[in-house]
Amino acid sequence: MIQIAIAAGAVLLIGLGLLLWLAFGPGPRRRRAFARAQRLLEAGSWEEALEIIRSLRRPNLSDAWKGRLRHAEGECHQQAGDEALQEKRFEKAFDHLCEAGELLDLNEAEQRARVVENMLAEVRRQFSGGPEHTDAVFALLQRTFKMASAGEEQPGTPCPEASFWQGLCHVRQGEVELAVAALTAAHEKVGKQIIDPAFYLGGLYHRLGKPQEGLRFLADANRVDGSCPFITWQMGISLVAAGGDSGMAMRALQRALGNRGLSMWLHAPERAWVEAFPEARSYVRRLAMKYRYVCPLLGSDLAAIVRQGQLALATALYRQEKFVEAADLYAKLLQECPPTVVLLRGYGLSLARLKRYDEAYKQLRIALEQEDPKDPLTAGYLALCGALGKPTQADDKPRNVVWAIRLMARYPVIGNAEWAGLLNAVMAEARALNVPLGIDEQLLLCDTLASVNSTDANAAAAYAHLATTFPDRVKPVYAWLYVRGATSNNLSIPGDLPLYSLAFRDSGPARAFFATQQWNFDEVEHKYLERSAVEAPGQFPAEMGSEYPPKGEAFLLERSRQEEEAGRKDQARACVEVLLRLAPASVTGHDRLACLHYRRGEMDRALDLLGGWQRLAPHDHWPLVRQAIIEQERGNAERRAEAIDRALGLTNGPLKAAVAYLGARLALREAARGWQKDGNVAPSAPSLAPSLHLLQQCLHEGPDHVEALWCLAAVRSVLGDREALAAQAPLMNRPAVQDARFHFLGAVCHLAARDYERALELGQRAASDPTLELESQYVMAWAHVHLANPNAARTALQRVAAAEKGPSAPYARALLGQLSFARGAYDDSIKWWTTLDAQRRAEWHLDDVLRQTVLLSGLLAYEGKRYEQAADRFREAGKLGLRERRLGGLLTLALVKAGQRLLFEHVK
């Protein structure tokens, strides 16, 4: 019992010791304290938890406990940082988060970014509160810059979004230069990722009167998101303000204001700042997704923004000369907005360009009254409407024009083409109404037109009117511009020659002026000559100088040639007609104009001109030569021969030889025409006599005239004059001549002279020309025949006969048949003769020869026991018309013999 009691006591003591250790031992106390700290942390009491955790630190703690305590302390600081962020104590929050990051091994940059993002979120919230929070936003932004730059290698580098909101705060306060600096700093860091800095920079520069510079930033914004309607809206407005591509501006504005543009959000404008900007690439969108955003630059009235874009679009349409669309859009805006000067002026200008002058007059008059300062163009278009509008009474029209002129005289504008056009139109109306124009009005008009180098039809009329009414007040530049206008507009105003005279009296400055403007002064020169030919014919203008006539003649002839080459035949003829009116004695002009009429098929007019040339130069043979050619084409052989005879009487030596040769060729052409008309009947000796005589006359004057020699040989060959051909043969041996026709006719001459070797040599030369190859082979074949070389003759003839067409082909076939017969090749003879057409065989008496040859071939076949071939020949002879009473018996006998042979062969 005692032992049991001792054991129980021991157990009790152990248990009591254990309880005392659990209650007061350091390990259990530490665990209980750590658990309590965790519960406090979970309950949000991070300060009490942190105090407990710090009290548990001991130098001799194990690594495990040190890690637990470090992690717990870091979580306390993390919770403290979160709590400070919620309370917007951002610097304190960052201190705690830095402690937490060090204890929990977190990235300090990420912790800083978290604080900065929370600060920016607060910036966005405060900014959305309106202008009254601007100072608070500035203060918070300064803290944000300090927080963001503390971790940078270069302290003070701004946070891009903070710089952006700083810039918008400056916009709110009207500090544009500071706004541009802040937005530029933001754009330089995120220009390719964030759209807003570039967009607002573009808008600010536009409002600073520098739209061209703003477009550079808007292009960057467009590269970030080209579908953002705010970007295209601002780009369109800036393009219009900068005077840029109005077509591009029009397209950009139409896209920005269309059904898929800003108009989508007119019923919910606040959503435009969310949905129109790209997600994750817009600071404005981040704000607008949580708070109401009022743009400090554009305001909150989206309808007003749309109307501003429509106004710019109307301007772009006007510049694109789409006046109907522009007028409709201006009219719509006037119904929705107060009638501002800009709207009234734009609407009035559009109506004026549509020639709705009476409607435009009302708008422009109100606009001009309200404008300060006055815009000259408004006054100019108002004057135009007053001058061209329809008055209530017809008698008021001249008074309205005078009023318009006086109105424009108040605004003398030099160097503006649009203003010059308006003044020009008003003055043209005055001239049309015969309203007297004084020297001051006309000089004002001409000086204005000259300042923009105006040369349209009305401008030319203005210069001409001044020259008519006040000729002593005409300046050289007026004359230069008039002649340019008259030329380019094809004008001929009565009494304008003095203006041409002034321009050409000292043409050096005029030519320099034209060269500067890149105008063609030669066109003016031609126009002057053309006008002088009408107004003062018989001589070239005296202002051109005494040495000008030959230059003028050359000028007009060269221009005529150029016009003809360009296919403008009427203009080419007109140039020469001008020449003949100014210089009636110009033989070159008569020649050129006759040529042009000849090419046009106007033979009578061409002959008249050639006759005029002959009267001007009775000793000149050329008009007679040309008359001969034309008479030849008209079929008048008698007059052609007469003209050639007269031309021969005016020439000598080589020139006479050339005329004679031409006459011979013309006569030959006439003979050939008669030959073709008579059905290819060879020309008779009388028809060839004129050409033969002329060729002989040509050779008398020029014995070495190659063309005449071969033409003479050709004529003699056609006439069959072998003796003359043989006599001409020595003259046809000229190896240096390149004309194959000469060598071909030389071969013919030597063939007639029985010089067959030389005929072969010349034939070879002629055969080098493909067009004469076959005919040359035929001539050489006859030379081979006479040289008793039948094989060479057959080779040459076969080449000729193989041609389907050719004048010598049937002759070659006939001769091949004869050669084949001579050597006993009757079948070949039959082949060549049967290829001839029946008419030629009859003409050459070959029909009976062919029939007898076919019979002979049949008999030889029969004798050679070729009975089937013999039967075919006998049958063929019958078809050819052979009248032989034994032919039937021979055919029957041949057929029987052929049958017997077949029967015997079958029995065997």
The pLDDT tens digits of the residues spanning 680-691 come to 556 677 888 899
Q: Is the pTM of this model over 0.75?
A: no
Region 389-416 average pLDDT? 91
The DSSP-derived string for 855-882 is HHHHHHHHHTT-HHHHHHHHHHHHHTT-
Q: Which pLDDT band, with edges at 50, 70 and 90, does 6 fall under?
A: confident
How far is 399 from 405, CA to CA, in rounded Å?
10
* Residue 362, pLDDT above cutoff 80: yes
* Residue 558, pLDDT above cutoff 70: yes
pLDDT on residue 15: 60
pLDDT on residue 86: 87
Q: Which two tokens stand for residue 632?
A: 């030849």
pLDDT on residue 210: 94
* Residue 676, pLDDT above cutoff 60: no
Tell which wins on pLDDT, 103 or 538. 538
Q: Which residue from 576, 561, 569 is spatially nearest to 613, judged by alpha carbons?
A: 576
* Residue 677, pLDDT above cutoff 60: no
How far is 387 from 422, CA to CA, in rounded Å?
11
pLDDT on residue 583: 95
Q: Which contacts (CB < 8 Å, 24+ apart) does range 99-108 have? A: 99/74, 100/74, 100/75, 100/76, 101/74, 102/74, 103/70, 103/71, 103/73, 103/74, 103/77, 104/71, 104/74, 104/75, 104/78, 108/151
Q: Are 661 and 698 in contact (CB under 8 A)?
A: yes
Q: Which pLDDT band, with edges at 50, 70 and 90, does 29 fall under?
A: confident
pLDDT on residue 18: 53
How far is 621 from 714, CA to CA, in rounded Å?
28
pLDDT on residue 681: 55
Total residue length of the chain: 908
Q: How many CA atoms lie within 13 A of 329 on its CB side?
A: 26
* Residue 882, pLDDT above cutoff 90: no
pLDDT on residue 26: 63
The pLDDT tens digits of the residues spanning 634-656 come to 889 899 999 999 999 999 999 99
The pLDDT tens digits of the residues spanning 250-309 come to 999 999 999 889 999 999 999 999 999 999 899 999 999 999 999 999 998 999 999 999
Helices assigned H by DSSP within 753-886: 756-767, 773-786, 790-801, 809-822, 826-834, 838-843, 847-863, 867-879
Q: Are 692 and 672 in contact (CB under 8 A)?
A: no
* Residue 2, pLDDT above cutoff 90: no
How far is 34 from 21, CA to CA, in rounded Å?
17
Q: Is residue 340 classed exposed, middle or buried when 0-12, 13-18 and 19+ CB atoms within 10 A define those classes?
A: middle
pLDDT on residue 329: 94
pLDDT on residue 870: 84
How far is 630 from 603, CA to CA, in rounded Å?
7
Distances (CA, A) of 845 to 289, 504, 719, 781, 825: 117, 84, 22, 22, 20
User: For residue 399, what are the contacts with CB-CB under 8 A and spacing of at least 6?
Assistant: none
The pLDDT tens digits of the residues spanning 204-227 come to 999 999 999 999 999 999 999 989
Phi and psi at 299, nearest 5°, equal 85, -175
Q: Which two tokens stand for residue 718?
A: 């056609």
pLDDT on residue 156: 45
* Residue 711, pLDDT above cutoff 50: yes
How far is 485 from 483, CA to CA, in rounded Å?
5
Q: Hey, is 323 helix, strand or coil?
A: helix
**DSSP summary character for residue 536:** S
Q: Are 460 and 493 in contact (CB under 8 A)?
A: yes
Q: Which pLDDT band, with edges at 50, 70 and 90, does 857 fall under?
A: confident
Helices assigned H by DSSP within 452-568: 457-469, 476-488, 497-505, 507-517, 521-535, 548-565
Region 339-344 average pLDDT? 92
pLDDT on residue 730: 93
How far is 885 from 872, CA to CA, in rounded Å?
17
* Residue 21, pLDDT above cutoff 80: no
pLDDT on residue 103: 79
Helix and strand counts by DSSP (H, E) for the chain:
48, 0
pLDDT on residue 154: 52
Q: Are 814 and 833 in contact (CB under 8 A)?
A: yes
Phi and psi at 295, nearest 5°, equal -65, 125
User: For residue 694, what are the contacts with CB-CB under 8 A and spacing of at least 6?
Assistant: 644, 660, 661, 663, 664, 667
* Residue 126, pLDDT above cutoff 60: yes
Token look-up 């988060």 returns 97
Phi and psi at 88, nearest 5°, equal 65, 30
Q: How many CB atoms lie within 10 A of CB 316?
A: 28
How far is 73 from 356, CA to CA, in rounded Å?
85
* Residue 22, pLDDT above cutoff 70: no
pLDDT on residue 455: 95
pLDDT on residue 152: 60
Side chain identity at residue 602, one-letter code: E
pLDDT on residue 230: 95
Q: Which residue from 791, 743, 793 is spatially nearest to 768, judged by alpha carbons?
A: 743
* Residue 383, pLDDT above cutoff 50: yes
Q: Which pLDDT band, with edges at 50, 70 and 90, does 99 fall under?
A: confident
Tell which wins on pLDDT, 419 or 30. 419
**DSSP summary character for residue 684:** P
How far is 801 from 814, CA to CA, in rounded Å?
9
Side chain identity at residue 507, one-letter code: S
Side chain identity at residue 552, one-letter code: G
How far is 727 from 750, CA to CA, in rounded Å?
9
The pLDDT tens digits of the residues spanning 234-245 come to 999 999 999 999
Tell which phi-psi region holds residue 824, choosing left (phi > 0), alpha (psi between -120 and 50) or beta: left
The pLDDT tens digits of the residues spanning 494-530 come to 889 999 999 998 889 999 999 999 999 999 999 999 9
Q: Which pLDDT band, with edges at 50, 70 and 90, does 756 fall under?
A: very high
User: For residue 187, what are the contacts with CB-CB under 8 A and spacing of at least 6?
Assistant: 197, 198, 201, 217, 220
3-state SS, 616-645, equals HCCCCCHHHHHHHHHHHHHCCHHHHHHHHH
pLDDT on residue 14: 66
Q: Are 838 and 819 in contact (CB under 8 A)?
A: no
Region 686-713 average pLDDT? 91
Q: Hey, is 295 helix, strand or coil?
A: strand
Going through 145-260 in order, the beta strands assigned E by DSSP cover none
